[in-house]
Structure 1
C-alpha cells in the first residue's frame, strides 16, 4: 500500500527532529551560531530536593509534590567547579563543562556547587552594572543547568562573592558610589546600605525568575537546581559586624523564599563560631575565626535557611600544624558541626567545601586522601544513623588543560587514582545504604555502582 500524504509529511518532520536532537545532545546549537529551545521533556525527570528534619529528601515521581510517605532520604557526595558558567559562554569551550558533568556523574557524585555570579566589567561578566545583564553569559548559565540535568546532577548556585574575585561585595559598593550614593568604602556597607541591598535583590530576582533559553523552564521550576546560596563565604569587617550580617541573611533568605518556594536556601558560611557562642570557640581554628562577624549557630538557625553550610581547609587554617594534628582537628571540626545540626539546629549540615593543598609537601595525594577520608567516614557514619551530616563537596575539580582555573586545592580527579577510587567508594556506599532510591535505573547512564537499585 502506498503511504498516505500524512505519512509522507511525517517522515521528514521526524527526521528533522531526530537531527536536531542529535545536534543538541552532542554539540549544542550555539556552537553553530544559532540556538535551540528544547522543552524539558527531552531531559530526565528529577524530583525536587527538600528537607525532613536533619535529612535531605527527594520527593518521588519527579514532580516535587509528593507527600512524606513518598520521600527518599539523600546523603550527598559532590564537588565544586566554580568555572562552569564562564566556560559555557563560548561554544568551543562548552565541551569542558559537558565532560565535567559526565565525569562527576561517572564517579557517582550528584551535586555540584558553582558560581551564578560575575559582576563588573570583566569580559564574561554576567551583571555588567546593577540590573544590566549580558544575555550571552546568561545563556552560558542556562547551558550549565541543562548539562547538569542531562547527567542527573544538581547544582548549588552561589549568588555573590565575599571576595573581590568576579566582582564581589566591593563591586556592589563601587556601583553605589558611582551612582552618587553616600556609601562608606567599608565592606560592611554591602550588608547595610539600602541601595546596595536593592541591587542584590534585583539581581537575585533576575536569576531566580530566569527562563532557561534552551528548555523554556524557569529556574524556580528547575529540579536540577539543588539550592540557592546567598554568598560565597560571607564575612564582616569585625565582630561588630555580626548584627548587620545576621539581619542581611534574614532579609535575603526571606526574599528568595518569596520568589521561589520549591528550592532550598543556604548561606555559604564557613562554619566559624562567633563571640556570641563562646563555649564553641575552642572548635575554631584560631581566635581570628570568631572576629569575622559570622556565627555558625546563630546564622544557620534563621528560619528561612534550610540547611547549614560548612567549609574545611586545615592547610590554610592551621598551616604550621603537622598532618596528624590537622587530621585530628578536621575530625573535631566535622563532629562539632554534625552535633550542632542534630542537637541544636535540627537541620542538615552540608560541608560545601573540603579542600587540601596540593603543593605543601611531596605526599600531597596521601594528605588529600587522609582529609577526604576523614570527612567521608564521618558523613557515612552520620548517614547510617540518619543524622545531620548530610554530605560533602570537595574543592575543586577540573578537567584536563584548565590551568587558568587552577589554585592550590584544584585537581583532575581521574589523574589521581587513589583519590578517584576514594570518591567513587563514598558515592557507592552512600547509595547502597538506601533501598528506596530517587531514580529508576532506566534513567541512569554510566552508573558506577551497578549493584545498587532494583
Structure 2
C-alpha cells in the first residue's frame, strides 16, 4: 500500500495551509493549558479548580501509531496531535485494549495475542501516545475493551474461555444474535478474569517513556470499562443478563479504584439505545461510575437515510435533540456530568472520499455543539463531547475504501467500516473551522 506523507496530504488545501500554520505555533503553547487531574464536583468536571469543558475527538488508533514497530508511525502521531491541539481540542478517547482472535474485521495486532500474552510493542505505543498527549496539556479517556468485534473485544475474551464465538454480521446469526451472545461475557467468570487481568496490567502500568505511573498521570482523564458495553440486544437477553451486567460494572469500578483512587471512571455506554429504551437501566448502570456517557449515531440507528439526507435530516434532527434532552435529564437526576463521547455522521450522499462535501455533517455537529454550549452557559450537566472521529492525514488505501489486514494508514473509521465514512480529514476545511469555533466558544484556545 502507499502511505502518503505529510506534504502530499496537505499541499493544495486551504485547511492544510491553516493547519501547518497552527501546528507551527503549537509547541509554544504546550504546557500553557490547564493542568492537574480532572475531577468532578456534582455535575461539573474540573481541572486545576476550573471548569473543564471537553472539546474532544475519538482517536482509537493512537497506540498503534505510537508503537515502535512496523505498524507504528510516531512522526505521524506527533503531527496529528499537533493539529488537534492547535484546533483547541483538549481530550481524546483512545483504545487501551484489543484482543486478537478469530473474529472477522478485528484489528491486528492487538494488545493481547491469540494466546492471551502481552504485545509489549503496543503497550509501549500507548506509553508514547500518553506521553505526547500529556506534553500538550491534553487528557485521554482510556478504553479497556470493546463490546464490538473490530478490536476483538468481549466476544474474543468469551471465545478464549469457551472456544466458541459468532461473527457480527454473519447471515447465519442475524441481529441481535451477536449482541445477545456477547452479553454472556458478564456471567462467564473465566472470561471476566481475563478482562480483569488486562485492566489491572494497564491501570498498574508505569509509562516506559516518561516514567510516570499511569495511576499518577494527570493526562489520563478517566478509565473506561469498554466501548459501548450493552447488556444484550434483545429484550429477553437484556433481562437475562441484567444482574451480571450490573455486577460487572460495579466490580470493575471497584477493581480500578483499588489500584487508582485518583482518576475518574466511566462506563462507555451509548445510553438508552444500549438498553432498548430503558432509562432505569441506564441510571442503574451509571451508579458506580463518575459520569454518564451517551453516543449518537443517526444513520446507524435509522434516523436518517444516507441517500436522502436532505429529506430525512429534519426528522433526524428532532430525534437527536430528543436523545440529548433525555440524557441531560438523567444526568440532572443523578447529579453527575454527561459527555456525548461519540457522535458521527456521514459525508453528503454517504460518500467516503475527502473530496465529498459535508453540508449535513456540519448541521449535525452544530446540533450537538449548540446543546453543549447551552449547557456551558447555564451550568448544566452536559460538559462536552468527542466527535467520531479524527482521520487526519490518513487516506483509504484501496479504491473500494475497505480496510485490509496489513493496512497502516489508520483512521477514525475502524477496520470493519468503510474508510472515510465518519472520520474528519485534515483537508475538511469547513469541518475544521466549525470545530475550531466551538473550541473558541469554550475558551479552550486561550487556555
- TM-score range relative to shorter protein: 0.7 to 0.9
Q: Which runs of 5+ in 2 are unaligned?
A: 1-30, 102-106, 165-179, 306-310, 397-402, 404-410
Displacement after TM superposition at 1:236 (Å): 2.9
Work out which of the residue numbers 23, 38, 43 in structure 2 matches 1:49. Answer: 38
Matches within 5 A, 1:42-191: 46-59=35-48, 71-90=49-68, 93-120=73-100, 123-128=108-113, 132-178=117-163, 186-191=181-186
1:140 to partner: Cα distance? 0.5
Whole-angstrom distance in 1 between the partners of 2:68 and 2:274: 43
Instruction: Find the aligned partners of 1:55 and 1:112 in 2 and give their Cα distance.
Output: 19
What's the counterpart of residue 365 of structure 2? 372
Distance (whole Å) between structure 2 residues aligned to residue 322 and residue 48 of structure 1: 42
| Contact kept in structure 1, 2:393 and 2:426, CA below 8 Å | no
Q: Distance in 1 between matches of 2:68 and 2:207?
A: 17
Q: What's the counterpart of residue 192 of structure 2?
A: 197
Structure 2 residue matching 1:169: 3-state secondary structure:
helix
Q: Deviations over 1:219-274 (max 9, x none)?
A: 11111011111010112333222222112111111111111111111001001167
- Compared CA separation, residues 151 and 90, structure 1 to 2 (3 A): same
**1:421 and 2:430 are equivalent in the alignment:** no
Distance 1:294 1:138, change over 3 A: farther
Equivalent-residue separation in structure 2 for 1:196 and 1:361 (angstroms): 38
Partner of 1:308: 292
For CA contacts below 8 A with separation 6 or more, give which structure has more relative contact order.
Answer: 2
- SS of 1:50's equivalent? strand
- 1:38 paired residue number: none
Distance 1:374 1:196, change over 3 A: same
Deviations 1:189-237 (A, max 9, x none): 3101112111111110000011111111111111101111101011233
Deviation at 1:124, TM superposition (A): 2.3
CA–CA distance in structure 2, aligned partners of residues 200 and 246 of structure 1: 16
**Aligned-partner Cα distance in 2 for 1:274–1:419:** 29
Partner of 1:430: 442
State TM-score, norm by structure 2. Answer: 0.75
Q: For the structure 1 residues 322 and 53, does the alpha-carbon distance in structure 2 shift closer, same or farther, using more than 3 Å as the test?
A: same
Contact 2:230 2:274 in 1 (8 A): no
| Equivalent-residue separation in structure 2 for 1:272 and 1:340 (angstroms) | 10
Aligned length: 362
Q: How does 1:269-288 map to 2 (within 5 A)?
A: 269-272=269-272
Secondary structure (helix, strand or coil) at the match of 2:261 reads coil
Distance change (3 Å), C-alpha of 1:102 and 1:322 = same
TM-score (normalised: structure 1): 0.74
Q: Which residue of 1 aligns with 2:104?
A: none
